[in-house]
Amino acid sequence: MGHYATFLLQEFTVAASNSIGSVVVIGNFNSFYIFCYDDTETYSWVENGVKHIDTMSSVTALSRKTDGSQLAVGGLCGMLDIYEAYTRHLLYKDSFELLYDNNGQVIVKRLGKGEEEMRIVLKSRFGYAVKKVNIFQER
C-alpha cells in the first residue's frame, strides 16, 4: 500500500512527466508522488517515492527542466521549491556524477574544485535504456 495508508489522500491537482513519459510526478495536498513505468518486468506504473511537506497546501504547478534534471513545485499559498529530479545517482571516482533521469537519459557532470562545471546529456534517440556509461582518461 506504500504511503497511501500513512497520509490522507485528497484529489490530485496537477501532473508533469519527463521527456519520454516514463516518469510522472503527481501533485496532491501537502505532497507529491513520483511514479515510474516499469518496462522490464511488470509493465505497469510503480510508485517510486513521495515527498510530504506539512506547510505546502495544494500543489498547483509542476514543471521539469528541459534536460529533466530539476523539478519545480508550486503551491497554492505562493510556495516554490526546486528539487533535483533523477531516478538513480552514481559517483565515479569522486570525479564524475551520473544522474539517470529515466532509462533512456543520463546526465554526466564533472565534479571539480575551482573548475568550470562540465556537463553533458546522453540520450537514446530510440528510447532504449542506457545500461552502461564508460569514462576514459577522466574525460
Please give the pLDDT value at position 103.
67
Name every residue whose Cβ is closer than 8 Å to that of residue 132 and which is 6 or more positions away in sequence.
Answer: none
Please give the pLDDT value at position 19.
75
| Positions of the chain with pLDDT lower than 70, given as ranges | 1-9, 102-103, 113-116, 127, 138-139
Is residue 43 in some structural domain?
Answer: yes
Same domain? For 16 and 71 the reply is: yes
CA distances in angstroms from 73 to 28, 41, 76, 85, 130, listed in the order given: 11, 31, 10, 11, 28
Which grid cell sits at 117? 562545471
Same domain? For 57 and 92 the reply is: no
Distance CA 59, CA 109 (A): 30
Same domain? For 57 and 74 the reply is: yes
Which residues span the domain enclosing 73? Answer: 2-84
Please give the pLDDT value at position 7.
52
Same domain? For 19 and 72 the reply is: yes
Distance CA 112, CA 124 (A): 27
Nearest to 58 by CA among 17, 114, 12: 12
Same domain? For 13 and 79 the reply is: yes
Same domain? For 20 and 66 the reply is: yes
Same domain? For 41 and 63 the reply is: yes
Same domain? For 79 and 101 the reply is: no
Please give the pLDDT value at position 105.
81
Same domain? For 76 and 114 the reply is: no
**pLDDT tens per residue, range 12-46:** 889 998 877 788 899 988 888 988 887 777 888 88
Same domain? For 73 and 115 the reply is: no
Is residue 51 in some structural domain?
Answer: yes
